[in-house]
């Protein structure tokens, strides 16, 4: 059984947000909701200034606060390490959101689904995609669980123009993710929270 993880290469990322749009496409996300995105921040004082581009998504933590606090056991960890939400059990209480130090979870509200990106009318794309969602439940990145089950990379990884995202088995010492974590000293986001994130960053 693999233990899925991702490496985000900050040297490669150009902040284009192709990942964000690929995710919105793949998962039929409603307007304004992003399961992954890249943020940027200016660092320094002119002329010694630069800008950092930081991709973010659910870190699929091994020691996941969201899972720990869920009162209905809706949030669970699969055998291959994905953090998933069972919409039949989720009551949308938001405890997981409060517990998540990364805030990479979203409550699907009625307002999200009652209109499309262009206004009141849903487009055929939205009509075919929105029924996957249950109002009042938490939704989030699934590492594209259905794509990876078919041997494909997650949509954000597949589309990234600069190959700044690498997906693979953290238990496989030969995998690209392991190689990158070792050779380029991968680190976990907000490691002080001891979440054991399975998403690593490299500089």
Partner 1 sequence: MAEKNKAVVQNSVKPGKWVNSTCKMCLHSCNVRIHVGEDGTVNKVEGNSTSPSNFSGLCPKGNSSLQRLYDPNRIKTPLKRTNPRKGPKDDPGWVPISWDEALDIVATELKKTLEDDPRKLLPAINDFQKLYLWAWPAAFGGNANYFSVVGTFCGGGYHPMNGMVHSAFAGANDSDYCNYWINDGGGDGFSSHLHVAAAARYMANARVKRGMRVVTVEPRLSISAAKSEEWIPIRPATDKQFALGLCHVLVNENLYDEQSLKKDTNAVYLVGPDGYFVRSEDDKAYVWDPVDNVAKTWDDETIKDFAIEGVYEVEGVTAKPAFQLFKDILEDCTPEKMSEITTISADTIRRIAREFAEAASIGSTIRIEGRDLPLRPAAFNYYRGAQGHKTGSMTNHAYKLVNFLVGSIDAPGGHIGATLDDYWEDRGHIWEGKDGMILPTPHQLHPEVPFAYPPNTAHLMDYFPLGVDPGHLIADTFFNPEKYGYDFTPDTMLICHSNPLWHMNGDQEKLFEIMRRMRFIVGIDILINETNIWADIILPAHDNLERWNMTMIEPPNTEGPCLTQPVIEPMYDTKSEEDIFNEISERIGILDTWNQVLNFANHFADHKPELALEPGIKYSDKDIAERKGKLWNGKDLDWYMEHGHAVTKRRPEKFYRAWEGMRIHFYLEIVVEERDKLRKNMEEANVPFLNEWEWDDYQPLPLPVLDPVHKEPEEYDLYAISFKDVQLNFTENLSIPWIADIVHRDPVHMGVLLNPKTAAGRNIEDGDIIEITSPYGSVKGIAKVMEGVHTDCVAISNAVTRWTEDHPIVKAGGGNYNRLLPADLKNTDGCSGQMECTAKVKISKFISKIKDPDEANALLRRYAFPDSE
Residue number with CB closer to partner 1 (86 or 172) = 86
Residue pair 51/98 in contact (Cβ under 8 Å)? The answer is: no
Contact stretch for partner 1 (CB under 8 A) within 61-69, 73-81, 103-111, 160-168:
160-168
| Contacting residue, 79, 121, 173, 183, with partner 1 by CB under 8 A | 121
Q: Is 78 in the site for partner 1 (CB under 8 A)?
A: no
Give me the residues paired with residue 201 across strands.
Answer: 8, 187
Q: Is 191 exposed, middle or buried (0-12, 13-18, 19+ CB in 10 A)?
A: exposed
Q: Is 147 in the site for partner 1 (CB under 8 A)?
A: yes
Give Cα separations from 108 to 24, 35, 73, 77, 201 (angstroms): 14, 12, 18, 20, 28
Q: List contacts with partner 1 (CB under 8 A).
A: 9, 11-12, 14-18, 20-22, 24-28, 31-32, 34, 37, 40, 42, 44-47, 49-53, 86-88, 117-119, 121, 123-125, 127-129, 132, 144-147, 150, 152-153, 155, 158-164
């Amino acid at each position: 059984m693999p233990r899925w993880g991702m490496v985000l290469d900050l040297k490669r990322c150009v902040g284009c947000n192709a990942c964000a749009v690929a995710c919105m496409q793949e998962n039929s996300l409603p307007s304004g909701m992003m399961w992954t995105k890249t943020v940027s921040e200016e660092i320094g004082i002119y002329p010694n200034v630069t800008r950092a581009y930081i991709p973010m998504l659910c870190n699929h933590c091994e020691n996941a606060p969201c899972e720990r606090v869920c009162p209905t056991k809706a949030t669970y960890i699969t055998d291959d390490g994905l953090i998933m939400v069972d919409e039949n059990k989720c009551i949308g209480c938001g405890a997981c959101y409060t517990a998540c130090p990364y805030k990479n979870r979203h409550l699907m509200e009625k307002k999200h689904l009652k209109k499309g990106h262009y206004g009141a009318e849903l487009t055929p794309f939205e009509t075919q995609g929105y029924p996957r969602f249950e109002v009042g439940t938490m939704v989030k990145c699934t590492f594209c669980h259905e794509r990876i089950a078919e041997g494909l990379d997650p949509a954000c990884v597949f589309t990234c123009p600069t190959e700044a995202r690498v997906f693979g088995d953290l238990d496989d010492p030969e995998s690209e993710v392991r190689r990158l974590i070792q050779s380029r000293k991968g680190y976990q986001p907000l490691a002080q929270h001891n979440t054991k994130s399975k998403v690593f960053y490299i500089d």
